[in-house]
Structure 1
Amino acid sequence: MAARTFIAISELHPNFSHPTVLGIIIWKSDVKSFPDRKNVGRDRFTFGFTVRDSPDFFINVTAWGNDGYINGLSNSFNTGDCVVIENALVAHKDPQKDERFYPSTPSFYKMLVTEAHSQVCLCADMDIIDKLLPLIHLPVKDSRDFYSLGDIVANGRRLDGTVINILAAMKMIGEPKQFTTSDGRKGQRLEVKLFDDSVSSFPLVCWDREAIQLMQTLIPRESVLFIADAKISFDSFRNGMAATVNTKTIITVNPDTREASLLFNYAKQVSESGTLDQDEKPEDVSVDSITDVYTVSQLKQKARDTPEPFFGITYSFISKLDLDSSVSKVIKMRCSRCKFQLTGDAQSCMNQLCPGRDQPFSAMTGFDLLVDFTDHTGTLHACTLRSPVAENMLGYTTEEFTSLSDDQRTAMKWKFLLERCKVYVKIIPSSRMRTGVKGMVLACSLADPGEVKQHMSALLQ
């Protein structure tokens, strides 16, 4: 393919006949159908996509045709693919329809693709592909023009119904839910949880199959998203704000911008520190309300079956409890604001993106242990046991614990080690953990033998 045969998107005009355009797909819609007014009883099919050939120029393309042609064309390429478009009609944008239902573009025009006249095929020239691929990481809006999640939460209902840009990291991908509407149409819904340095969990809802497929290719905690033209609304069910991907929304994954790079580094830091695993606070449910009893294998299986955190009780033996390690491994210091783990002599938070860096330094010290629980079905490794839960369990404050002798700490360890305990846990499915499960201890005490016998016999039935 000779580069001179292609017309740049910036130069397109309705006067051009048989233009050939080359670019990378940065947005794609689902296939939709409409009754054909010219052929009663038949449907016309359509879908749209946005193609980009330079940092500053991209254009919307709409394809029309019968069921077989449109679905076949839609299935032939995805977001991120490089395509060649031949013989598309170049037309003026319709300010009413195009600006309302399609992404905003810098071009005055749009392109129309039909089976009779046009062709869209994948680009096979690797040199051209290598030049176009970086464009997928450039936001379609000013990279500094976005709301943080904290801004959205702070503005609350004042943003209800608005369309804004968001920069956030992906925290978790839910399971897609299928449904059928009252008029018989099938639909789907996927909820993604976002986070940044101001908010630890914020919902983004996707309804389009194309958007859902894009989300499912991403890696939670390692993906930063610039979401251009997301709709913000007040969700009465959650009693909070939520974002929705609509037909105008273009999502740029891991944008090549300074702001996104800072957020990526922050996401990596808090992910490695374990902060994200504790942010859905243990106190978001009272221990008294937890009644479901599980074996260890049942906890693991449920974590595989559901992406959402859940709570339960397990009657298990503590098989690892390193209370007689050095005090620095049992008691740790964290920043009060971002929960980032600090060294003992720290005079400021080491986290470059701590939301309180411009405020007086504040740290908190507490028990910070990883414990293992084992029953007849297996072991739940590396569960987090932190203050104040650890203080209630051990019966000592951190100050009292540091004054104990080595022999006294060892004696305390053996009070619990290999003893059957009643453990209230929060289970968080976690792709970072080798086991796929992160456990947080919400309460732990030596178990009553009669209670154990009653529950274990029920589990074994």
Structure 2
Amino acid sequence: MNDTSVALQKVNLRRLHPYLDNILIVGIIIGKQRPRKFLDKKSSVEVYRGVWNFTLRDSPQDYINITYWGPSEVIFQANEKFRTGDVVEIINPKINVRILNDTSEQFRPMVTSPYNLTLNEKSSIVHHAGMSVDYLPLLKFPTKPIAGFLPLRDIHNSGASIKDFIDVLAVVRGLGQVRTITSKTNEIMLVRTVEVFDHTCPSLKIDIWDPDIINRSEKWTPRFTALFFTDLIVLWSNFQRQFIAKVSNRTIVTENPEGKEVQLLLDYAKDAPIETFEIVDQFLTTLPDPSTIRDIMSVKQIQDKINASLQEVRSGSKQFTALLFAFVSNLDLDGLSQTLMITCGKCKMPIKGSLCENSECSTVYENEVIDPEFKFDIKITLSDHTGTLTNCRFRGEVVEQALSCTARDFSNMSDDEKSMLKWKYLMERCAVHIAVIFVGNQYPVVSVVNIRLADPVEVGRSLPVY
């Protein structure tokens, strides 16, 4: 602990130099790493010591890395006590000149200070007793230029050639559950996968292993939280068959940072298609007239092309269309399967009852009454002599044209009436125009873009052998 009998000199990070001692620095923690425990080899008895690294900022321009050494219980207690966003006082640290090519620098966040600080038994860290409000805006300032971010599309397309750390600016799309993992050294660790998107790509999954960032993620909101990640690691996931990113020891996460690029991204995110059905619907609007789709395939040929695309590392344009002559082997219009999607007439978010539950929708806080919208959303199964395509997507106006009724009219039909519509196509040979659409490098969506009863002569002349 410091000698309190000597008056402390308060300094800011910009005025640091190695000859200062007995100083006090006030700043806000903008990032921290997990503490580590190790056996003290200098002790004649079994004693464990600990080390904890965190990053402190006291102005938009000035931030520094700090290393705290001490008995393991002291270090781990300090890690639990102080979190990102806490305004703290650093008392009597040792000031060291940074050695830029030193190995330790490769595993620490990038900072602007030419120094780093060391805390030990003669130093201390405490919560700031004064006004903290002036320091809180510093959490909005990124630690690296935002303009240097890598678009998500480039990560998926060129991930194999990325050997260095990358920076990412994106908006939260979804938050996975926090999972508990046992490491090879029997250490219990937490991990959470956060899915993000930007203008160029609907999805990138980022694995977060840092407990502090996992704790902060509880407040992140899909569509409304923009994140700037510095120094992520890119790697290929055999399980997910796509490139993902992982937080490193160098990573600093800035939530809704200041910057023109951020505001443009958040404006886009408000209405961007992020659900799978939204992305598919948007893609389908770019397709030509279904009658121009003349590439005839069998079910097996479609499945083979899908499997070949899934094996490709690159995630370029894998989408394709085909004309399939097949039987409709399952079309459950009058059973328990979903047939309609009901959305709010204002914000277009799916609703289960008659009222919208989206807290951002004006119908909620203005008590505005707007009729919900109805849209067909059906799963259909297609079969031919080579195999079966299950859970094909059959939605929207395509269904209305095929069944010659609107979704709202269908919602008011009796089961007998729905059954009559079903048998118009069920077990009949049809000419089906489909689009196979890959979303986020996952298993693709097979979407029906047109369907009609097939002419037997046309089938006999065109049906593929295999």
Native 8 Å contact 1:231 1:244 kept in 2: yes
For 1:34, the equivalent position in structure 2 comes to 38
Cα RMSD of the aligned pairs, angstroms, is 3.8
Please state how far the C-alpha of 1:21 moved relative to its aligned partner: 0.5
Residue 388 to residue 244, structure 1, CA distance change in 2 (3 Å): same
Task: State the alpha-carbon separation in 2 of the partners of residues 79 and 199 from structure 1.
Answer: 30
Match of 2:136 among 133, 143, 150: 133
Native 8 Å contact 2:9 2:22 kept in 1: no
Which amino acid in structure 2 is aligned with residue 276 of structure 1? Answer: E
For 2:125, the equivalent position in structure 1 comes to 120
Asked if residue 181 in structure 1 is aligned to residue 179 in structure 2, the reply is: no
Please state how far the C-alpha of 1:239 moved relative to its aligned partner: 2.8
Please state how far the C-alpha of 1:154 moved relative to its aligned partner: 2.7
Task: State the alpha-carbon separation in 2 of the partners of residues 319 and 196 from structure 1.
Answer: 31
Please state how far the C-alpha of 1:152 moved relative to its aligned partner: 1.7
Native 8 Å contact 1:318 1:419 kept in 2: no
User: Rg: which structure is higher?
Assistant: 2
Native 8 Å contact 1:174 1:190 kept in 2: yes
Match of 1:98 among 93, 104, 110: 104
For 2:151, the equivalent position in structure 1 comes to 148
Please state how far the C-alpha of 1:256 moved relative to its aligned partner: 0.9
C-alpha distance after superposition, 1:163-215 (max 9, x if no partner): 01110111111112212223322222211111011111111011222222222
Which amino acid in structure 2 is aligned with residue 22 of structure 1? Answer: V
Equivalence map 1:2-401=2 (5 Å): 5-39=9-43, 40-95=45-100, 96-114=102-120, 116-126=121-131, 129-159=132-162, 161-270=163-272, 275-276=274-275, 278-279=277-278, 315-316=335-336, 369-370=374-375, 388-390=394-396, 393-394=399-400, 396=402
Native 8 Å contact 1:169 1:224 kept in 2: yes
Native 8 Å contact 1:317 1:419 kept in 2: no
C-alpha distance after superposition, 1:76-132 (max 9, x if no partner): 221011111111111122442331111111112111112x21121112323xx2221
SS in 2 for 1:269: coil
Please state how far the C-alpha of 1:241 moved relative to its aligned partner: 1.6
C-alpha distance after superposition, 1:225-255 (max 9, x if no partner): 1111111223233332211101001110001
Task: State the alpha-carbon separation in 2 of the partners of residues 392 and 133 from structure 1.
Answer: 52
Task: State the alpha-carbon separation in 2 of the partners of residues 26 and 41 from structure 1.
Answer: 34
C-alpha distance after superposition, 1:327-352 (max 9, x if no partner): xx9xxxxxxxxxxxxxxxxxxxxxxx
Native 8 Å contact 1:190 1:212 kept in 2: yes
SS in 2 for 1:203: strand
Task: State the alpha-carbon separation in 1 of the partners of residues 235 and 339 from structure 2.
Answer: 48
For 1:429, the equivalent position in structure 2 comes to none
Residue 319 to residue 10, structure 1, CA distance change in 2 (3 Å): same
Residue 417 to residue 89, structure 1, CA distance change in 2 (3 Å): farther
Task: State the alpha-carbon separation in 1 of the partners of residues 15 and 216 from structure 2.
Answer: 30
How many pairs align? 328
Native 8 Å contact 1:30 1:209 kept in 2: yes
Residue 318 to residue 78, structure 1, CA distance change in 2 (3 Å): closer
SS in 1 for 2:142: coil
Task: State the alpha-carbon separation in 2 of the partners of residues 315 and 253 from structure 1.
Answer: 46
Native 8 Å contact 1:34 1:45 kept in 2: yes
Task: State the alpha-carbon separation in 2 of the partners of residues 49 and 152 from structure 1.
Answer: 28
Native 8 Å contact 2:37 2:48 kept in 1: yes
Native 8 Å contact 1:319 1:417 kept in 2: no
TM-score of the aligned structures, taking structure 1 as reference length = 0.63
Task: State the alpha-carbon separation in 1 of the partners of residues 243 and 97 from structure 2.
Answer: 37
In the alignment, structure 2 segments of 5+ residues that lack a partner are 1-7, 284-298, 304-331, 349-372, 379-391, 423-444, 449-466
SS in 2 for 1:147: coil
Task: State the alpha-carbon separation in 2 of the partners of residues 42 and 5 from structure 1.
Answer: 34
Please state how far the C-alpha of 1:416 moved relative to its aligned partner: 5.7
Please state how far the C-alpha of 1:369 moved relative to its aligned partner: 2.8
Task: State the alpha-carbon separation in 1 of the partners of residues 153 and 340 from structure 2.
Answer: 39
Equivalence map 1:405-420=2 (5 Å): 410=409, 413-415=412-414
Task: State the alpha-carbon separation in 2 of the partners of residues 137 and 416 from structure 1.
Answer: 57
Task: State the alpha-carbon separation in 1 of the partners of residues 31 and 77 from structure 2.
Answer: 18
Which amino acid in structure 1 is aligned with residue 177 of structure 2? Answer: E
Q: Percent identity?
A: 27
For 2:439, the equivalent position in structure 1 comes to none
Task: State the alpha-carbon separation in 2 of the partners of residues 176 and 69 from structure 1.
Answer: 27
Which of 105-114 and 248-257 deviates more? Answer: 105-114
Native 8 Å contact 1:54 1:135 kept in 2: yes
Native 8 Å contact 1:24 1:132 kept in 2: yes
Which amino acid in structure 2 is aligned with residue 414 of structure 1? Answer: M
Please state how far the C-alpha of 1:58 moved relative to its aligned partner: 0.3
SS in 2 for 1:172: strand
SS in 1 for 2:271: helix
SS in 1 for 2:60: coil
SS in 2 for 1:130: coil
Please state how far the C-alpha of 1:321 moved relative to its aligned partner: 8.5
Which amino acid in structure 2 is aligned with residue 111 of structure 1? Answer: L
Residue 185 to residue 154, structure 1, CA distance change in 2 (3 Å): same
Residue 14 to residue 318, structure 1, CA distance change in 2 (3 Å): closer
Native 8 Å contact 1:29 1:208 kept in 2: yes
